[in-house]
Structure 1
Amino acid sequence: MLYAEDIIMVFFNVKLLPLLIIPFNSAWSTSSNSIFESLLQCPSTHLKHSNSSKEIILTRNSSAYSSVLQSSIQNLRFLNNSTPKLEVIVTPFHESYVQAAVICSKKHGIQIRFRSGGHDYEGLSYVSYDPFIIIDLFNLQTIHIDIENESAWVASGATLGQLCYSIVQKGKVHGFPAGSCPTVGVGGHISGGGFVTIFRKYGLAADNVIDARIVDVNGRLLSRKSMGEELFWAIRGGGGSSFAVSLTWKLRLVPVPPSVTVCKIEKTTEEGATKLFSKWQVIADKLHEDLFLHLVVEVANEASTTDGKTIKVSFDSLFLGPVEKLLLLTQDKFPDLSLDRSNCTEMSWIQSVMHFAGFPISEYLEVLLKRTQPSRSFFKAKLDNVTQPISQAGLEGLWQRLLEVETSQLILTPYGGRMSEISDSETPFPRRNGSIFAIQYLVTWDDDKETEKHISWMRRVYAYMASHVSKSPRAAYLNYRDLDLGRNHDPNTSYAQASIWGLKYFKSNYRRLVHVKTLVDPGNFLRNEQSIPVLPSGQK
């Protein structure tokens, strides 16, 4: 284990540029500049690989600066002219650089933001109006697959696509419960929970973590044993950015059959989509755990309607088995769907990963290794949990609101199966039992001038749905972060103030997260607009 005294060694001949990212903002105060000057005096560190030719610090003059910054900003809302621009990006390729950055930043009161893939709905991993360091982990991509022991060590900077690709290079009968977007970073995905297409069989990504290596607020490199079970619990769904910098994860690989089945049926409201949706609500969480049947609702063209638009519902399924068994299941539990072989394709598990990522299954698997999305847009998203079926009148009202914006979309994810067998307190993600499905609301647009219009529309839809979804508190999901729920305005945000959003994300697990935070980071060094707060000194 490396301790602070091992890292902060005077080694002035190592010419590292200042580890500071300066918002391009004239509002910076004199006191902020004084902090910056103090940071410059922080001793250089004796770092492994210090003679490497790799560029660790990217300034505005670095050729890779723009590509690195932009490749990890997936939401164009945070590339507009009003967003503070960063002067420097730190891209460590060894854990000791992370330790050094944490120690020097804490010493001089500079905040840290860190990211592994950039799929941050509100940009909190790379946007701040206070002095801060950003640590971009994309150089930490090592993946070691141990098929014999059905496990893998994966660095936080690796993407889900890289992880899935690496697994199948070692064999065809193992997988991992990873989300459907291959450019998401492993670190952020797991630390927030991790919705996945096979979570009804195996639980969330965070449920399949065996061990982890982190850098804590004191710059110490810790494993599960040395960090303790409380902190290990917190980083698997409570958001790593509140507690530590997560470097690597030991994951449990899961068995997958040689052949899985993917099916898709599309219906418009004129073709009975609302009735099928209503039936799906009743049975989706009760289907066999090998079957993941989710819905995508969006606006489509329809010549027969007055305005030429209608609502289309896509029933997309992944079944961990052959098509014959799936057809028997759906004929028994959901005969109204009229699923038949023509709607289905048998494929390998890795091809199903390609399918749900939006790639043709005939594409080369290497497409999963790309770290950037083929296209990006401005977007706003929110999440709800549904505990009782939505009435037909409620659905029709929702359809009318979706028709107002052609680029709106709903993604409905069913619970049940293994998810219902895991305690709500097993990890910080609290919504297992009692939830039928989750709704992600999503709207995209192409012009920054349309931003306020679309965000206002999203808020109206969210307000309309209040009576149809979970209550006291209304649910949210950390990996679909939403600053509309509330935010911390200063380092001293109280337990009660932060509970406005904290209870929505974590329910009763919120208080336990606060206790862990108070124990491991009593000075609230690792913080952002929705980080876990600390209890006042002496309060338990």
Structure 2
Amino acid sequence: MAAATLSRHVSLAFLLFFSNLLFFLPSPSSSAASPSAIDDFVSCLLSANIPADQVLTPTSTSFISVLTSSVQNARFATSSSSNATSPACIVAASDVAHVQSAVRCGRRHVIRLRVRSGGHDYEGLSYRSLRSDDVFAVLDLARLRAVRVRAGDATAWVESGATLGELYYSIGKSNPGFAFPGGACPTVGVGGYLSGGGIGLMMRKFGLGADNVLDAMLVNADGDVLDRGRMGEDLFWAIRGGGGESFGVVVSWRIKLSMVPSTVTVFNIAKTVSGDGAAVAALAKWENLILQPFMPELTIRVVLQGNTALFQSLYIGGCGRLAASMDAYFPELGMSRSDCNELTWLRAMAFITTGNITAPPEDMLRRTNNLGTSVKSKSDYVRRAIGATAWTSLFTNWLSRNNNGILILEPHGGVVGAVVPDYATPYPHRAGVLYNVQYGVFWWGDDGVNAARRWLDGVYEEMGPLVSSDPREAFVNYRDLEIGENEIGEDGLTTYESGRRWGERYFMGNFRRLAVVKGRVDPGDYFRNEQSIPPLFQSY
């Protein structure tokens, strides 16, 4: 497959993948709310001065368009296509006071909220429910998208509904010389990205996105607005990687920016698997480089599709040193100065997103979705190099047989694994992790879904002996309901034991602490979904 064709497929993949209770605010029980409760909930919202055109019910003319406005996966576009329950209402908040009112009205009238920022929700749990008796509203934060950046300031405030592309654009235009270590897909919502920890292209040098959060504004289960000082360090720890929709609604984040040179270097090198073994040799050497404390200012992620391995690099520095280092340490890749593109950080992010060196940064501002394609994803973490033999088998038996399948390898190491400890934030996949693996498979309409799922399940099974185990780690931002779902106990709360099945794979030893924090700040379990943190009423 030509590199240009692969790049177009990869871009599509990025777009798709990717306190005590107040006595007068009862927690919803597990039983369904009555129809009158919905009417009362809507009346409550309107009486709180939320504009009528921002409170949408299924009879509203714009209900479907707003519901699908940021859905990035066709298999969740409608309740009938996803075998799930749709929301009874959408609250399109444009002010923090709207968020507070939605929480308070929801508590008062026994209507739960599912909170959505960008829509890159791999199982769609921010806008759909798998419980047939669930009556809920979607709190859509897309209108809360302001980015406040000042020239020369190494911090910024960003609202949860902003996309990564909007954040990058604001930083690059208002504060050149600074950057934020975010991900590769510009349509991902900032709120979801940071809530899951946030892996990205500069984390080896500057840490995860969540490692760079300095403060946050959160609406808790009582509808109160809390900053870091008021919420306390335990809750502040939990929201920086503990997954979304468990502890409250984070409406904005204060983030630390990192200084970068006036130009950085990017390149894409595609190697086709052939008889000479060059692509497999490059993959094997790439794994061994991550084992070493090798150039944290350099990130080389790898995208595998069909018979091609695409090596995508971002280097925080100039081409001269990069080319010399690659020649000395990674000659298997065959990189030369002619592969280099020296760009501003902002333009480099636009290039990574599109694969087009002339792509204007404004392209990252498009908040578009693509509902023509369905996708299912899974994830793993690799802690020891799997080697050339395994790579050859994966290409021969799986990748070369399905051009709609994809593996994305995100290198860790550097600051992520050697400086920041596993317990510093809920994201635990640090010391000893070489890279994260994201598996994805695409299909269109109802055709090919069975074959797609067989392919995904097969490659995931083959990787089993090669990846981490006990537990087999997974990334919460690549949510996968097949590893477990919450169960509701007789007390109407999600049970800790059911949560452990999936939670210890996402959070490992940090899961129990997350559950204890949940028990303290949301003991009525108001904020919940099929993989939200369950409350645990014990100390850690």
TM-score for both structures, normalised by structure 2: 0.88
Secondary structure in structure 1 of the residue aligned to 2:311: strand
For 1:373 and 1:320, locate their aligned partners in 2 and report how far apart those are by CA, in whole Å.
30
Do the aligned residues in 2 keep the contact of 1:378 with 1:448 (CA within 8 Å)? no
Aligned ranges for residues 187-336 of structure 1 at < 5 Å? 187-270=191-274, 271=276, 272-286=278-292, 287-299=294-306, 311-336=307-332
Kindly provide the amino acid, as one letter, of the partner of residue 110 in structure 1.
Answer: I
The one of 393, 400, 412 aligned to 2:409 = 412
> Please, what is the CA RMSD of the aligned residues?
2.4
For 1:147 and 1:418, locate their aligned partners in 2 and report how far apart those are by CA, in whole Å.
26
Greater Rg, structure 1 or structure 2? 1
Change (3 A) 1:196 1:538: closer
CA apart distance, 1:365: 2.2
Aligned to 2:18: none
Deviation track 1:410-464 (CA, whole Å, cap 9, x = no partner) reads: 1111111111211101100001110111111111111224323322321221111
Change (3 A) 1:289 1:51: closer
For 1:169 and 1:64, locate their aligned partners in 2 and report how far apart those are by CA, in whole Å.
34
Deviation track 1:333-392 (CA, whole Å, cap 9, x = no partner) reads: 112222101222111111111011115342332222111146751001111111111133
Do the aligned residues in 2 keep the contact of 1:201 with 1:417 (CA within 8 Å)? yes
Secondary structure in structure 1 of the residue aligned to 2:375: strand
| Runs of 5+ consecutive residues of structure 1 not aligned to the other structure | 9-19, 21-28, 300-310
Do the aligned residues in 2 keep the contact of 1:284 with 1:293 (CA within 8 Å)? no
Task: Work out whether 1:393 is the aligned partner of 2:399.
Answer: no
Change (3 A) 1:538 1:117: closer
Aligned to 2:349: 353
Task: Work out whether 1:57 is the aligned partner of 2:55.
Answer: yes
Task: Work out whether 1:520 is the aligned partner of 2:521.
Answer: yes
Aligned to 1:140: 144
For 1:409 and 1:44, locate their aligned partners in 2 and report how far apart those are by CA, in whole Å.
47
Do the aligned residues in 2 keep the contact of 1:513 with 1:532 (CA within 8 Å)? yes
Aligned to 1:114: 115
Kindly provide the amino acid, as one letter, of the partner of residue 283 in structure 2.
Answer: F
For 2:291 and 2:62, locate their aligned partners in 1 and report how far apart those are by CA, in whole Å.
46
Deviation track 1:38-62 (CA, whole Å, cap 9, x = no partner) reads: 35345736878x386x721123454
Aligned to 2:362: 366
Do the aligned residues in 2 keep the contact of 1:112 with 1:132 (CA within 8 Å)? yes
| Runs of 5+ consecutive residues of structure 2 not aligned to the other structure | 1-20
Aligned to 2:36: 37
Aligned residues: 502
Aligned ranges for residues 488-499 of structure 1 at < 5 Å? 488-490=486-488, 491-499=492-500
Change (3 A) 1:470 1:514: same
Q: Percent identity?
A: 40
For 2:385 and 2:63, locate their aligned partners in 1 and report how far apart those are by CA, in whole Å.
49
Change (3 A) 1:51 1:109: closer
Deviation track 1:76-112 (CA, whole Å, cap 9, x = no partner) reads: 1112533344453210111111111111212333221
Kindly provide the amino acid, as one letter, of the partner of residue 112 in structure 1.
Answer: L
Do the aligned residues in 1 keep the contact of 2:351 with 2:358 (CA within 8 Å)? no
Kindly provide the amino acid, as one letter, of the partner of residue 333 in structure 1.
Answer: Y
Aligned to 1:154: 158
Secondary structure in structure 2 of the residue aligned to 1:352: helix
Aligned to 2:437: 439
Secondary structure in structure 2 of the residue aligned to 1:37: helix
Higher relative contact order (CA 8 A, sep 6+): 2
For 1:406 and 1:486, locate their aligned partners in 2 and report how far apart those are by CA, in whole Å.
29
Do the aligned residues in 1 keep the contact of 2:476 with 2:506 (CA within 8 Å)? yes
